[in-house]
Structure 1
Amino acid sequence: MRLPLISMLLPPTLVSAGRDTGRPGHGLIGYGIEMYIPVCAYACQNSFSSNPLVCTDDAPFGDDEMDGVGMGSSQDGMTLPQNVSAMPSSTCHAESEPFLTSVAWCIRMKFRNTFVWQIEKWWQSYVVGNQPTDTPPGLSYGTALALVTSPPNATCMGGQILSETSLADEMLYMPSIFPSTLTRMWRFNTNVLRWSSALNGQFIYPLLLRPWRDSPTAAVIGDPPTRGQALFIGYLILLNIFLSTFKFGVHPGGFRYWWNDGQDEIMDDLANRLRVLSFANFVLLVLYLSRNNVFLWLTNWQHSTFVLLHCWVARIAVLEAILHSVIFLRDWIQEDRLADDQRIYELFLATHVALSILVFLGSWYHIIFRYEHQWGYETWLHVVFAVWGFDRLLRLLRTLRNGVRTAKITAIDDDYIRIDVRGIVGSGHVYLYFLDWRFWENHPFSIASSIIQQSGTFSSTKDIDSVADNVDIDPEKSIRMGSDGFNQTLETVMVFYLRLLEGGTRALRNRTQLPVLIEGAYGNHEDLSEYPTLICIAGGIGVTAVLPYMRAHPSHAFLYWSSRTQALVDSMKPLTHNFHLEVVVGQRLVLRTILESQLDNFAVVPGA
């Protein structure tokens, strides 16, 4: 059999660790796939499956199944008649009346509380074996049972020729009873309670720890989560720990078939649970990172929150996969189965997708090679691929809807540039693909504005937004509006601001225009109209994210802005001149002073 290429990259001892082949299953274990159920039926079949059988001319020995055991000899060296197979083929089992009647009688005696149709269903698929190519049984369960006219008295011991209806050897039957593995998954409850502002300010919004951006910890863990995010991350961690460790059972020594002792049994159960949980987390891993994540609408959480959760779920899934491998590696060793800063981020982006594909394909081939399609482990990967493909399809449709556009680049100073894309409107943020400069990359940009006033003067920027909301604008054209004797020309232009960093983005400063693809727009601005006063505090080009809130607020809106350069402030005057604006250049804002100055305008009534 030719192995997949990925299996050739694995250590030979792992590839040869053993395969469990069988009929394909559909669904998940416990939901459409029953692992070794009914247990007693499997135990009865296993009790007689290794006994030598008399094979007829129509039921050949099956040389390919004998694995070096010759016809006419048994595994322990005893001589057998020439028409007896020490390792019968599936055809021999299917046509052997003693085998079928013995299994049927065993099931009848051991398995009294099950409907006959359930046994018949199992019988047709598994009494001969669990391979898709196995020959169907020559007798149904009911027919085989009817052939037993009197209860058998003889017991067929292991290694004896099964030539008549016999009782099962209890020494073979009892160890064959092993528990089925049922994996229980959970559902997320995404309903978020509405807490008071004091509770949010104390337990939800503050950072869990002081920022460590300049410390080595940031390269490994990233920025610290807020306390609310940390609570949810802790919930995910505790849930995974609970699902992987609760309700373990140990069977009596006489019932163990695969394990040396109770500790081995528990460790194997733990490894199997960790495998399923890791696959389940793969689904969340892809879903949280997708830009069309349904939880964005259900929870109203920021996309950055789900990116953070994506990172932590990835750590959980990888840790579970590592523990799964380490536990089984421990078993293999015991059984002697082994013979003897920004550039870093850009590198991460370049390799992240490739590594993700390698992980998913590696998981796929691991499951298919080890279990084929028996137990539905690959269903988790089907969901992963479906979520990933759906998100990529929506990204493509959002991009094709906007078509190829031309981006005009204007240098503001050595640190900042302005990007204008004409003929398109939107709000929130978009992803830009620069087609003749690193076309494979896409970068998120907040939309500073999407309607530009060419001539005339509006009383406020809110009037522009009102026009954009209430007039059906053709994105490909400019429009002329008359209001109170003034003539104004409005043009649909998406405006972005970009800070140039050390790396590839600095090359954009030398360009005047580029063909671009625009994916989006994404994100919905929260309605803040119920609050009488809006205070926005921003730094650098982060001000572009709060400008839509400033324009949309119907009442008092104050913008406090700290900028690195005066040139950026001058460039953004057309977008900010109608606000209550305070700007500092080259300095930090003092938050306490800002908040105290605003609180002085309100009368605070204790207990109100």
Structure 2
Amino acid sequence: MDIHQRNLAELGLRASAEVLQGRAAGATPATDAFKSNPTISPYNTGLNGVNQPVNMLFTDILWWSLGGVGFIMLLIRIGQLGWAQLRLVSAMSLKAKQQHFWKTRQWTWMPSLKRNIIYAPLWNKRHNREIRLSSAMNMGTLPSRLHAILLLGYVASNIAYMFVLDWENENKYALCAELRGRSGTLSVVSMIPLIIFAGRNNPLISLLNVSFDTYNLLHRWMGRISVIEVIIHSIAWAIVQVADDGWEGVKHKIIYDRFISSGTIGVVAMALLLIFSMSPVRHAFYESFLNTHIILALIAFICTWVHCISATVKGGLPQTPWVLAIMVIWAAERFARAIRLAYANRSSRGYTEAIVERMPGETCRVTMKLPRYLAIKPGQHAYLRFAGVNPWESHPFSIAWFEHHAADEECLPLSEKDILRIEKDSQKPISTTVSFLIGAHTGFTRKMYNAASASPHHRPITMRAAFEGPYGGHHSLDSYGHVVLFAGATGITHQISYIRHLIDGCNRGMVATRRVTLVWIVRESDQLEWLGIWMNHILKMDNRAEILRIKVFVTRPKVATESLSNSGSVQKLPGRPNVLTLLAKEVDEQMGAMCVTVCGPGGLADDVRDAVRKMQGHGTVLDFVEESFTW
């Protein structure tokens, strides 16, 4: 027997031994596979050739890595809360000039860390400004430098774990089987944080003070990784199957083998998810994408579960409990949404109704009368549905204004018993009214604006609606002596709720804030009507003139001098603001610790972020918060 024949014999003996081991473990390879080639057929099914101990080792390392990052962020969150509470308690009774300690007190390395890591874009200054391909398409946004570091670490670890294989194995089909097991395992591992990060009711949002926007970014990238890994998983199987039975064998298994057919359908669903989730497609057809995304994700989860339980291994594949956990988490989050929706919009007082008013600048002002009291904090948002406009869709909008009502003004007391009941409950809120500004773009928002515009004489229209929330609002500004709020167009909705809260808190001695500066950029003066009675209410608040400074910039005045106005603490100016110059002036007059927040178009947000970074290192405490809904 020559060397070549001896090697083939050794490979055959090795394959036979591994087949026997597979049978001992419960695996029952197809009979026709043995007729094809004993050095190939064992590696196209079950756990034959799969290095399960190493798979589980890398699984544990990935989960411990994610848990470690979460634990570090939790410690940072606890430290931030403790520091902010200490600052609030010590500064809320002090005058502006007495907060010098908190104005300058910070670690010497913190400004550099903020400038180069925490607030830094990936490069240059572009972060949330969309990369436009056309008027209808764009490539989305770029991650920040901190986000990029986290994503790079996760992607690099997945690549490293994927290819830690037995490369010395002479049987390439056994190597494909090992790759098949590794890629499939890693794909399902990524699905667990993927589904957690996608939820609006994700408990990590409030626990770690990380915005849903950030989790959505991580969700998108983990989804891409999971899909690529499951495609590698399929290719590794197909290589062995084609070598063993040809393409006819592949076709036969896809049609008649439940284990393979469920896996194939799941892979196709995930591949479609990847294609439809590409930024240009997602942004151009967002509403269609959202509904398709949910359906395809559900198909992928169910098929993955069927694939795992249909394996020839006794008890199914080891990943079966993980898939069940994924489906339970997904169902629990959906159930939580339904509960919040039902609770907020139905009570003995009736259902939620919305009054929609057409406003200048292709915008609607929506006021929702909720049938029960809901506690709402500044900076929160809610998901809205309207019976008359795509009721199956919900979209997030910042809460601009809210009022709590202590008694039902529409019901008059009919007896002495009713009078006593009303007096008893006069201090207890029983309902809430919330208001929003919704700009008309495409799809849902455009249909709403058209419906309001079609009303005779542009009178407000009333429709049944649903309020899901409130969400967000985890950034408290109470401990800052100086707050600067930048808003672009309807971004004012996020900022105006803070203004009322901070002025009222200052008057009651409950916050440290002594100066609030609002910079609002609008296209036309008519858009100032959006705020209406809300701004009138703010301007009449006690000590408002000492606390609040308002600078309104009109970028498209009808005539050159139309926007020029200066009435003490309120200024109306033409053109676009020089963000760096405005912020430098605020820093020169800084009172205590300062926080700069922005809500508006991506270009404005990037300008404010860049200005905050440039002002770091001037010897003062300067924090930055960006409110955005990137998708």
TM over 0.5: yes
Change (3 A) 1:235 1:67: closer
Displacement of 1:571 after TM fit?
2.7
Take 2:429 and 2:367, find their aligned partners in 1: how far apart are those partners?
17
Tell me the residue number matched to 1:590: 578
Equivalent residue for 2:214?
A: 305
Q: Would you say 1:245 and 2:159 are equivalent positions?
A: no
Query: Whole-Å Cα distance in 2 between the matches of residues 382 and 589 of structure 1?
Result: 53
What are the Cα deviations for residues 394-423 of structure 1, in whole angstroms up to 9, with x where unaligned? 111111111230000111125111000124
Residues 508/606 of structure 1: CA separation in 2 closer, same or farther (3 Å cut): closer
User: What residue number does 1:346 align with?
Assistant: 287
**Residue 296 of structure 2, aligned match among 330, 355, 360:** 355
Distance 1:561 1:208 in 2: 27
Structure 1 segment 49-88 matched on structure 2, within 5 A: none
The CA distance in 1 between the partners of 2:138 and 2:184, in whole Å, is 25
Q: Which residue of 2 aligns with 1:201?
A: 115
Q: Is 1:508 matched with 2:448? A: yes
State the match for 2:363 in structure 1. Answer: 416
Report the residue type matching 2:285 in the other structure.
I
Letter of the 1:447 partner, please give it.
I
User: Matched residues, percent identical?
Assistant: 23
State the distance in 2 between where 1:376 and 1:386 align. 17
Q: How far is the alpha carbon of 1:453 from its aligned partner?
A: 11
Q: Secondary structure at the match of 1:535?
A: strand
Aligned AA (2:131): R
CA distance in 1, matches of 2:296, 2:49: 41
Give a deviation string over 1:372-400, Cα, whole Å, max 9, x none: 74223222211111111111111111111
Deviation at 1:217, TM superposition (A): 13
Write out aligned runs for 1:214-363 (5 A): 214-215=132-133, 222-246=140-164, 248-249=165-166, 261-339=170-248, 342-363=283-304
Q: Secondary structure at the match of 2:56?
A: coil
In structure 2, list runs of 5 or more residues that go unmatched. Answer: 1-16, 36-47, 77-108, 252-279, 346-350, 407-425, 453-460, 503-512, 540-547, 556-574, 592-614, 621-631
* Distance in 1, Cα, partners of 2:396 & 2:478: 27
**Mapped partners of 1:67, 1:268: distance in 2:** 19
SS in 2 for 1:411: strand
The aligned runs of 1:363-374 (5 Å cut-off) are: 363-371=304-312, 373-374=315-316
- Comparing 215-224 with 520-529, greater Cα deviation is found at 215-224
Alpha-carbon distance, 1:542 to partner: 0.9
> Aligned partners of 1:66 and 1:406: how far apart in 2?
62
User: How far did 1:212 drift?
Assistant: 4.6
Give the Cα–Cα distance (whole angstroms) in 2 for the partners of residues 540 and 178 of structure 1.
Answer: 57
Q: What is the Cα-based RMSD across aligned positions, in Å? A: 3.7
Shift of 1:337: 2.6
> CA–CA distance in 1 between the matches of 2:49 and 2:214?
47
How far is the alpha carbon of 1:304 from its aligned partner? 0.5
How far is the alpha carbon of 1:567 from its aligned partner?
2.8
TM-score, normalised via structure 1 length:
0.60
Structure 1 pair 570/221, CA: closer, same or farther in 2 (3 Å)?
closer
Alpha-carbon shift at residue 541 of structure 1 (Å): 0.7
- Conserved 8 A contact 1:250-1:265: no
**Pair 1:599-2:587 in alignment:** yes
CA deviations on 1:25-45 (whole Å, 9 max, x unpaired) are xxxxxxxxxxxxxx9997598
Do residues 475 (structure 1) and 430 (structure 2) align?
Answer: yes
1:300 shift after superposition: 0.7
1:581 aligns with 2:550: yes
The one-letter code of the counterpart of 2:153 is: Y
1:14-25 map, 5 Å: none
Q: 1:494 aligns with which of 434, 458, 461?
A: 434
Q: Provide the secondary structure at the position in 2 that maps to 1:335.
A: helix
Once residues 413 and 216 of structure 1 are traced to their aligned partners in structure 2, the CA distance between those partners, rounded to angstroms, is: 26
1:213 aligns with 2:165: no
Letter in 2 for 1:594: L
Question: Cα 1:369–1:442, aligned 2, differ >3 Å: closer, same or farther?
Answer: same
Q: Distance in 2 between matches of 1:524 and 1:503?
A: 27
* Residues 319-352 of structure 1, C-alpha deviations (whole Å, 9 max, x = no match): 1111111222222233343149654222212311
Superposed counterparts of 1:451-462, under 5 Å: 451=403
* Superposition deviation, residue 265 in structure 1: 3.2
1:407 corresponds to: 354
Q: What amino acid is aligned across from residue 545 of structure 1 in structure 2?
A: H
SS at match of 1:451: strand
CA distance in 2, matches of 1:66, 1:326: 20
Shift of 1:543: 1.5
Seen in structure 2, the aligned counterparts of structure 1 residues 328 and 473 have a Cα distance that, compared at 3 Å, is same
Q: 1:440 to 1:212 in 2, by over 3 A?
A: closer
Pick from 387, 395, 408 the counterpart of residue 443 of structure 1. 395
Instruction: For residues 502-522 of structure 1, give each alpha carbon's deviation from its aligned partner in whole angstroms, at most 9, with x where no partner exists.
Output: 333222232411101111111
Q: CA shift at 1:218, angstroms? A: 11
> Deviation at 1:436?
3.2
Higher relative contact order (CA 8 A, sep 6+): 2
- 1:61 aligns with none
Post-superposition CA distance 1:540-588 (Å, at most 9, x none)? 1111112233333332111101012323312314334433211112243
Question: Where in structure 1 are there 5+ consecutive unaligned residues?
Answer: 1-38, 51-64, 69-74, 76-175, 253-260, 455-470, 477-491
Larger relative helix fraction = 2
| 2: CA distance, partners of 1:299 / 1:67 | 54
Q: CA deviation at 1:364?
A: 2.5
Asked whether the 8 Å contact 1:433–1:443 carries over to 2, the reply is: yes
Q: Which residue of 2 aligns with 1:517?
A: 466
Change over 3 Å in CA distance of 1:240–1:218 after alignment to 2: farther
SS of residue paired to 1:395: helix
Relative to 1, partners in 2 of residues 1:499 and 1:266: Cα closer, same or farther, differing over 3 Å?
same
Q: Is 1:385 equivalent to 2:303 in the alignment?
A: no
Q: How far is 1:233 from its partner?
A: 1.1
Deviation by residue 1:57-101 (Cα, 9 ceiling, x = unmatched): xxxxxxxx9989xxxxxx9xxxxxxxxxxxxxxxxxxxxxxxxxx
